[in-house]
Amino acid sequence: MPAVVEITDLRMSYGGKVAVDGLSLEVAADTITAVLGPNGAGKTTTLETCEGYRRPHEGRVRVLGLDPVADRRALMPRIGVMLQAGGAWSGVRADEMLRHVARLHAHPLDIGLLMDRLALHDCGRTPYRRLSGGQQQRLGLAMALVGRPELVFVDEPTAGLDPQVRRTVWELLEELRADGVTVVLTTHYLEEAERLADQVHILDKGKLVASGSPLELTRGGTVATIRLVVTQPFPPGAPESLASALGAATELVVLDRHSLQVSGPADGSTLAVVSRWCEEHGVLPESLTLGQRNLEDVFLELTGRETTT
């Protein structure tokens, strides 16, 4: 099956500043694809180029086989776009805005049902500018979905939403995928990408640094996290003694008087050292667990722990 989105050697810059630096990636049909990266990594610029809002400075972008700029008229009815902010007129009521977008499409969804689903029924008559941030966010998602798109681009769809609504949005995106809609999203919530995405692309400074399913990305790796919980409080000097037994390649964090966490090489040696140290120092572990790497660990390994912008 041909890719729904094909990005080849995309380069984008603002003035002299490079925002996207030779990016190539593909999005397969009927999947949820998450584009991840620290602030300023180039995610929004990439999405906006796919949506036809920006012309590639170098490279090529094809969406549903079309050029998003040259074929904009043909493409627009087939895609849904949820921008990171705004997208609606400030004085227009929420239900009017949604009705307006629905009229642009041949077979729109039922507006009442969509508003119910996104818990917008109570604020249909509220002007856009008076909606709360979370309501504006949900209206933006409703506007992206109302035209029954084949492909939706959603930029941080759950930013700032409360946990209940976030789950509703997740379920909605999963239902869309089940109905054959392709979803491309950006998010800073890595557990969201881990739960939803079939494919993850991690960008850093405009370049692709990793691609794969969440399982492929979290399997293996170079760092293991071990948590040690003990029955009696650690004796004085114990963390320092364990840290010196482990050596400089590991990082030890004391969580409280009964527990600590060690991050170190994922080759089994770290766990063996902790276990031997407990035995030699008469420390009785209540539990000694090897933590599973999650997408956040992978993300931080690849993009660094310092704030980039």
Residues at the site binding ligand ATP, with contacts judged by CB under 6 A: 14, 17, 19, 37, 39-45
- What distance lies between CA 146 and its chain's CA centroid? 23
Cα angle, residue 152 at apex, residues 149 and 158 outer, rounded to 5°: 130
Shortest spacing between CB 151 and ligand ATP, in angstroms: 19
Minimal distance, residue 45 CB to ligand ATP, in Å: 3
Instruction: Give the phi and the psi of residue 50 in degrees, each rounded to 5.
Output: -65, -30
CA distance 10 to 201: 15
Q: How many CA atoms lie within 13 A of 80 on its CB side?
A: 30
CA distance to 14, 60, 301, 304, per residue, from 209 (Å): 21, 19, 11, 12
Least distance CB 83 / ligand ATP (angstroms) = 11
| Residue with Cβ nearer ligand ATP (36 or 146) | 36
DSSP annotation of 130 reads G
Q: Which residues pair with 278 in a beta bridge?
A: none
172-204 as b/e: b if 16+ CB within 10 A = bbeebeeeebbbbbbbebbebbbbbbbbbbbbb
C-beta of 61: minimal distance to ligand ATP in Å?
A: 14
**What DSSP designation does 122 have?**
G
Instruction: Quote the CA–CA distance of 137 and 124 in Å, as a whole number.
Output: 14
Report, in Å, the least distance between residue 14 CB and ligand ATP.
Answer: 3
Identify which of residues 84 and 261 has a Cβ nearer to ligand ATP in the complex.
84
Extract the tokens encoding 76.
């627009």
Nearer to ligand ATP, 40 or 127 (CB): 40
Taking the least distance from each CB to ligand ATP, the nearer of 41 and 146 is 41
Q: How many CA atoms lie within 13 A of 187 on its CB side?
A: 27
Of the pair 16, 282, the CB lying nearest ligand ATP is at: 16
Q: Which is nearer to ligand ATP, 38 or 264 (CB)?
A: 38
> Least distance (Å) from ligand ATP to the CB of residue 303?
11
Smallest separation (angstroms) from ligand ATP to the CB of 44: 3
Cβ proximity to ligand ATP: between 41 and 115 the closer is: 41
Hey, what amino acid is at 153? Answer: F
